[in-house]
């Protein structure tokens, strides 16, 4: 995530500025998957707005790849299961013998 490095640099260079505060809140909201008022983006200076957009792009791309990895895990689990339904399907439930 390259944008997060740029956001960090911006925050260190501009502590206390309104745009830095908003950008920090956006970053926290993304990290915590918490709500964020989109109207606050309008209050950002142009360079901070560009950073916010890049941050959201990186976040979206990271989520896309995470979802793809989960999909691959599911597919690999299915491929590793025997063709007749897998071990779990052949095993009787506990206490049912």
* pLDDT tens digit sequence for 56-91: 998 887 766 666 666 666 666 777 776 555 554 445
The average confidence (pLDDT) of the chain is: 80
Nearest to 3 by CA among 21, 23, 19: 23
Burial tier of 6 (Cβ tally within 10 Å: 0-12, 13-18, 19+): middle
Report yes or no: 45 and 66 within 8 Å, Cβ to Cβ.
no
What's the pLDDT at 48?
95
Report yes or no: 4 and 55 within 8 Å, Cβ to Cβ.
yes
What's the pLDDT at 60?
82
Q: How many percent of the chain have pLDDT more than 70?
A: 68
A 10 A CB-CB count for 76 gives 10
Who wins on pLDDT, 80 or 93? 80
For the segment 35-51, the average pLDDT, to the nearest whole number, is 95
**Per-domain boundaries in the chain:** 2-86
Map residue 62 onto helix, strand or coil.
helix
């Amino acid at each position: 995530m390259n944008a997060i490095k740029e956001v960090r640099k911006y925050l260190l260079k501009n502590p206390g500025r309104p745009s830095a505060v908003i950008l920090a809140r956006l970053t926290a909201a993304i990290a915590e998957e918490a709500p964020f008022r989109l109207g606050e983006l309008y209050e950002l200076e142009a360079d901070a707005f560009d950073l916010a957009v890049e941050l959201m792009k990186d976040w979206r791309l990271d989520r896309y790849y995470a979802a793809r990895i989960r999909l691959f895990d599911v597919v690999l689990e299915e491929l590793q299961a025997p063709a007749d339904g897998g071990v779990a399907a052949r095993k009787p439930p506990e206490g049912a013998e």
